[in-house]
Amino acid sequence: MSANEFLPWVRRAVAPHAPADEPTSLDATRDSTDQPQDLQRRTLIQLLGLGGLVIAFGAGGVRRLEAAELAAGTAANPWSPHVYVRVADDGIVTIVCHRSEMGQGIRTTMPMIIADEMEADWARCRVEQAVGDPKYGSQNTDGSTSIRDFLQKYREAGATTRTLLEAAAAREWNVDAADVFARQHEVVHRPTGRTKSFGALVETARTVAMPAPESVRIKRPEERRWQGKRMPSIDLVPMTTGTAVYGADLTLPGMKFAAIARPPVWGGKAMAVDDTEARKVPGVERIVRIPETPIPGAFLPLGGVAVIARNTWAAFRGRDALKITWDAGPNGSHDSKTYQAALETSIRAPGKPGRTNGDVAAALAAAQRKVSAEYHIPYLSHAQMEPMAAIARVRDGKVEAWAPTQSPNDARNTIADYLKVDKASVTVNVTLLGGAFGRKSKPDFICEAAYLARETGAPVRVQWSREDDLRHSYYHSVAAHRFEAALDDAGKVTAWLHRSAYPSISATFAPNLAGPTPDELTNGASDVPWDVPNMSVEVCPAVAHARIGWYRSVNAIHHGFAIGSFVDELAHAAGKDTAAFLLELIGPDRKVDLSKAGLVDSGETYYGAPWAEQPLDTARARRVVESVQQRSGWDTPLPRGRGRGIAVHRSFLSYVAMVVEVEVKPDGTVLVPRATVAVDAGFVANPDRVKAQMEGALIMGMSNTLYSGITFAEGKVEQSNYDDYRVARMRASPHVVDVHVVESEGSPGGIGEPGVPPAGAAIANAIFAATGVRVRELPVGRQLEGWETRAGDKGRAVAG
Amino acid sequence: MITLTVNGARRTFDGDPTMPLLWFLRDELALTGTKYGCGVAQCGSCTVHVAGKPVRSCQALMSELQDATVTTIEGLHPTGEHPLQVAWREIDVPQCGFCQPGQIMQAAGLLQRKPKPTDEDIDAAMNGHICRCGTYPRIRAAIKAAAEKSP
């Protein structure tokens, strides 16, 4: 297993569809008597064994479960369907959502696509949340993949179901199939106008011949009812009335509450535990040691000391009363200041190339004008609003968990490994996720609940505090970047040297890594859309001393900030308008097979497909830049203290450009009154959710750029809560976010992540325009205090 | 023994008097619409009304709540159709949704005090709330939409 299997934008290329490596349990009609009440409606409907018309989609295409299979509750052949659609005899359509809902709207958009292709009536559709099971294919909701990987499959599943219902009507009426068509939950006979409802056709639809896949017609654009239009979230009522169910919102009979003291340093260990005071806290029942997991530890819990109590407050108080002597272990001297200096040294020497074009060294040596700059980005934490929480129960050798997980299958497999039980005996139910951003791909917190449930013999809910969340995250990598570029007499870039150093995510899975590998640069650094003859993009060594993980857009966060900032520095050095300079840097329209464009050691595939199938299309980059240039009023002047910045970035196969306008107050406070965004993500199924993702990405970019930073001293995280890990709030946030979603029938790109990378650079460039202060170290924090009296002092790029 | 009214119903509590209202609501009454986000009054996810005013329930100790009248998101409107709840849905405010009950409770307090709030009023009232999904522009729009509909 390659360590980079865990890089979110790489790993689906390694194992896009986990095989159903065990007999798929199709008779899992669950005992309903003591499910958590709130979740019953989500988990109890079993689509098999209840009859009706059941369509499944797997690697081998779409198929219908035959009557005998339904009656027996088992499928005749092992296969791996991703999607279930069931039409019941009463016409109710149930669609299983195999992906987790964390704010991106997949619980709405995925069923909406299927229902549209089916010609189902949306009011008669129900959505069930899938448990973790390999039969659903990849359920890992990260890497901005849900629509990107599954749009076509959702369409085929819906269209096949529609075709079967149409064929059923044709047979019942004994008419030509060409004369019938489905329309809003019924099939119509065109010549006579008679109709039959979907429900009334179910029995026949189970017996008509399955259509050949090539005869199943996906709707033409003009036939689409909902795809490409706004569809409100199906969860709006529960979310606005307090009845939506997240990780900590379920209660099992006899459930205990747990809080855990974890090693403050990655790889640390509790040497002595004095729980005298903790036991005195009213409501505390038990203290349980959880063995520390040796680093790197992957998805497993950190270990520590758990306090089991009768309610959350008692668990928290008891945990706080523990007196623990920790051994810090090998990372006890990790310090952000000295580490930053080490990264700086690392990027000042050549690294491993991820892309080589021409001869950068010669071009730089020969250049009349050189520009160089270095950028520093701190560790970041997801800080999603819902701190980790999970519930588990162990009975009769079976483990059940309920958790806000992005990846129920990884959770299931990890629990099985951790508790040394067969994974067939582990069930992971998925609640809504109160924000996730990559943190909830890691099931460490669910394993904690499972472990404590087994140790105590009672159902346990583990609740992380906000402090736990910030101090025991899987951090976004601290990073340093160095650029050297050459400009010719016309101000055109002739050489581009880009080096970066950051601890790799792979270090969380494989011990003793010296640093990132060149393939990590394909997340928005070695695949930049620039037209530059001499390029070298390199990664430099950086050893991990903290648990590293992926956070919304991953390496593209620091790639996007550093690249977009340096382009602005270059434009100023060339004496050009940055938007015009960007367009020149993108160059003529062309489609580039990146694997033939000088990439080195960058893997066989790119975002899960062969390189040649995912060419870089520079016309799309150009168009999003032109769009924001035109829509933002880019050329209209702003007074001092206000400024606009522009950046473009491509990640997860989508192209996003932003113009951000900032207002910098005399005390250095930054406001973002408005922003203009253009996104080309290929075909967009639910444009309002795409707009919402762009709004959110911009505001998360504000947090990453202006406020947030995790730092370490003596191996421990120095921040504790939102007062010292600051994030964007209402007052600084935009009043207007104008999002232009490019209309396209092209292959869908990602949406959840690609808005983040350009935001940081656009904000920093706007700050430069407003104040003359160049931000090269994040977060901005208090760097702008007194800017009015020192403008210009950092206004020029460092001379080469 | 502490007696208080929650969403119109009389409730009693005889546990740890240092327990914040948040955990009484969530763990004892199963009113889980009130969310734990930070525990230190930094994020606003736990906002409820006490005596009609927005309060961070993570900071309100049970020992201080004798005879208090508490309203949670579940009790804001009998059918979930408070003008803010309606506006929130019309504008599709929530993404993950986790912080929204607290945001709505805060906004309801604002509209009671200032039926026609300005942008500055909204910023001042809502700045104590965090939404990591970044729904602030839509929250602002939804508050204005609700205010416009009210007489």
Q: Which of A435, A463, A491 is the last residue of a domain?
A: A463
Exposed, middle or buried: residue A288 (CB in 10 Å: 0-12, 13-18, 19+)?
A: middle
Q: Say what the pTM is.
A: 0.94
Q: What is the DSSP letter of A45?
A: -
Residues A672 and A742 placed together within one structural domain of the fold: yes
> Which stretch of A39-53, A236-250, B118-132 has the lowest confidence by average pLDDT?
A39-53
Residues A397 and A374 placed together within one structural domain of the fold: no
Query: pLDDT value at position A69?
Result: 60
Cβ contact, residue pair A433, B96, below 8 Å? yes
Residues of B in contact with A704 (CB under 8 A): none
Give yes or no for residue A234 having a pLDDT over 80. yes
Give yes or no for residue A797 having a pLDDT over 60. no
For residues A147 and A748, the answer to whether their CB atoms sit within 8 Å is: yes
Query: pLDDT value at position A67?
Result: 62
CATH of the domain at B27: 3.10.20.30
Query: pLDDT value at position A661?
Result: 98
A74 falls within a domain: yes
The domain of B114 spans: 83-149
**Cβ-based neighbours of A749, under 8 Å, separated by 6 or more:** A144, A148, A652, A653, A654, A655, A680, A681, A682
How confident is the prediction for chain A on average, in pLDDT?
91
Say how many domains are in chain A. 3
Question: How far is the alpha carbon of B151 from chain A, nearest alpha carbon, in Å?
Answer: 22
Structure token pair of residue A356? 């080589």
Q: How do residues A357-382 score in pLDDT, each as one tens digit?
A: 999 999 999 998 999 999 999 999 99
Residues B7 and B70 placed together within one structural domain of the fold: yes
A606 falls within a domain: yes
The domain of A22 spans: 17-240
A401 falls within a domain: yes
Calpha distance A534→A496 (Å, rounded): 6
Cβ neighbours around A251 below 10 Å, total: 18
What is the bridge-based pairing of β-strands A93-97 and A125-129?
Answer: parallel
Residues A731 and A594 placed together within one structural domain of the fold: yes
Q: How do residues A770-786 score in pLDDT, each as one tens digit?
A: 999 999 999 999 999 99
Query: pLDDT value at position A700?
Result: 98
Cβ contact, residue pair B138, A729, below 8 Å? no
Residues A714 and A643 placed together within one structural domain of the fold: yes
B-chain residue closest to A722, CA distance = B42
Residues A533 and A442 placed together within one structural domain of the fold: no
Give yes or no for residue A528 having a pLDDT over 70. yes
Pick among B133, B138, B140, B144 to test the A interface (most A CBs inside 10 A): B133
Query: pLDDT value at position A65?
Result: 73
Cβ contact, residue pair A239, B20, below 8 Å? no
CATH of the domain at A28: 3.30.365.10
Cis peptide before A296 (omega within 30 of 0): yes
Residues A517 and A407 placed together within one structural domain of the fold: no
Q: Higher model confidence: residue A800 or residue A304? A: A304
Q: How do residues A562-593 score in pLDDT, each as one tens digit?
A: 999 999 999 999 999 999 999 999 999 999 99
Interval A63-80 mean pLDDT: 52
Q: Which of A187, A216, A240 is the last residue of a domain?
A: A240
Residues A141 and A224 placed together within one structural domain of the fold: yes
Residues B70 and B87 placed together within one structural domain of the fold: no
What is the bridge-based pairing of β-strands A186-189 and B69-71?
Answer: unpaired
Residues of A in contact with B32 (CB under 8 A): 242, 245-246, 248-249
Residues of A in contact with B131 (CB under 8 A): 385
Convert B17-37 to b/e letters by CB count within 10 Å (16 or more is b).
eebbbbbbbbbbbebbbbbbb
Residues of A in contact with B42 (CB under 8 A): 466, 721-723
Chain B contact present for A733, CB below 8 A:
yes
Query: pLDDT value at position A59?
Result: 57
Query: pLDDT value at position A4?
Result: 53
Calpha distance A666→A377 (Å, rounded): 25
ipTM: 0.99
**Cβ-based neighbours of A384, under 8 Å, separated by 6 or more:** A433, A434, A435, A436, A437, A439, A440, A469, B96, B98, B132
Exposed, middle or buried: residue A199 (CB in 10 Å: 0-12, 13-18, 19+)?
A: buried
Q: Which of A442, A463, A484 is the last residue of a domain?
A: A463
Residues of A in contact with B43 (CB under 8 A): 385, 466, 722
Q: Higher model confidence: residue A47 or residue A140? A: A140
Q: Is A513 left (phi over 0), alpha (psi -120 to 50) or beta?
A: beta
Query: pLDDT value at position A130?
Result: 87
| Amino acid making up residue A104 | Q
Question: How far is the alpha carbon of B37 from chain A, nearest alpha carbon, in Å?
Answer: 6
Convert B54-91 to b/e letters by CB count within 10 Å (16 or more is b).
bbbbbebebeebeebebbbbbbbbeebebbbbbbbbeb
What is the bridge-based pairing of β-strands A712-713 and A716-717?
Answer: antiparallel
Residue with tokens 């491509």: A650
Q: How do residues A305-344 score in pLDDT, each as one tens digit?
A: 999 999 999 999 999 999 999 999 999 999 999 999 999 9
- Alpha helices (runs of H) in A367-407, residue ranges in sequence order: none
Query: pLDDT value at position A197?
Result: 97
Residues A264 and A236 placed together within one structural domain of the fold: no
Cβ contact, residue pair B95, A104, below 8 Å? yes
For residues A90 and A390, the answer to whether their CB atoms sit within 8 Å is: no
Query: pLDDT value at position A792?
Result: 56
Residues A557 and A698 placed together within one structural domain of the fold: yes
For residues A64 and A88, the answer to whether their CB atoms sit within 8 Å is: no
Calpha distance A375→A344 (Å, rounded): 9
Query: pLDDT value at position A349?
Result: 98
Q: Which of residues 422-481 of A touch B (CB under 8 A)?
A: 432-437, 463, 465-466
Residues A343 and A429 placed together within one structural domain of the fold: no
| Amino acid making up residue A537 | V
For residues A9 and A511, the answer to whether their CB atoms sit within 8 Å is: no
Query: pLDDT value at position A137?
Result: 74
Residues forming a β-bridge with A272: A325
Calpha distance A374→A558 (Å, rounded): 12
- Alpha helices (runs of H) in A15-102, residue ranges in sequence order: 40-43, 67-72
Query: pLDDT value at position A245?
Result: 97
Question: How far is the alpha carbon of A37 from chain B, nearest alpha carbon, in Å?
Answer: 11
Q: Which of A580, A659, A351, A644 is nearest to A484 (CA)?
A: A351
Give yes or no for residue A75 having a pLDDT over 70. no
Query: pLDDT value at position A175?
Result: 98
List of E strands, A282-416: 284-290, 304-309, 323-327, 352-357, 369-377, 389-395, 398-403
Query: pLDDT value at position A7?
Result: 60
Chain B contact present for A708, CB below 8 A:
no
Calpha distance A239→A234 (Å, rounded): 10
Q: How far apart are the first and last CA of chain B?
A: 42
A469 falls within a domain: no
Query: pLDDT value at position A184?
Result: 97
Percent above pLDDT 70 for chain A? 90
Nearest to B37 among A236, A385, A698 (CB): A385
Q: Which of A488, A499, A573, A572 is nearest to A533 (CA)?
A: A488
Exposed, middle or buried: residue B114 (CB in 10 Å: 0-12, 13-18, 19+)?
A: middle
Q: How do residues A681-725 score in pLDDT, each as one tens digit?
A: 999 999 999 999 999 999 999 999 999 999 999 999 999 999 999
| Amino acid making up residue A479 | A
Chain B contact present for A669, CB below 8 A:
no
Residues of A in contact with B26 (CB under 8 A): 248, 312
Q: How do residues A641-693 score in pLDDT, each as one tens digit?
A: 999 999 999 999 999 999 999 999 999 999 999 999 999 999 999 999 999 99
Query: pLDDT value at position A798?
Result: 40
Q: Which of A384, A71, A47, A431 is nearest to A244 (CA)?
A: A431
**Cβ-based neighbours of A738, under 8 Å, separated by 6 or more:** A631, A632, A674, A675, A676, A677
> Which stretch of A33-42, A385-394, A396-405, B109-118 has the lowest confidence by average pLDDT?
A33-42
Say how many domains are in chain B. 2
Q: How do residues B84-139 score in pLDDT, each as one tens digit?
A: 999 999 999 999 999 999 999 999 999 999 999 999 999 999 999 999 999 999 99
Residues B71 and B97 placed together within one structural domain of the fold: no
Query: pLDDT value at position A630?
Result: 98
CATH of the domain at B93: 1.10.150.120
Residues of A in contact with B140 (CB under 8 A): 730, 735
Exposed, middle or buried: residue B42 (CB in 10 Å: 0-12, 13-18, 19+)?
A: buried
| Amino acid making up residue A74 | T
Cβ contact, residue pair A240, B28, below 8 Å? no
Residue with tokens 């950190």: A302
Residues forming a β-bridge with A86: A54, A94
Calpha distance A331→A336 (Å, rounded): 12
Residues of B in contact with A382 (CB under 8 A): 132
Q: Which of A491, A563, A580, A470 is nearest to A525 (CA)?
A: A563
Residues of A in contact with B39 (CB under 8 A): 316, 465-466, 721
Q: Which of B75, B100, B133 is the last residue of a domain?
A: B75
> Which stretch of A513-517, A559-563, B85-89 has the lowest confidence by average pLDDT?
A513-517
Residues B107 and B141 placed together within one structural domain of the fold: yes
How many DSSP H helices and E strands does chain A contain?
Answer: 20, 33
Cβ contact, residue pair A311, B15, below 8 Å? yes
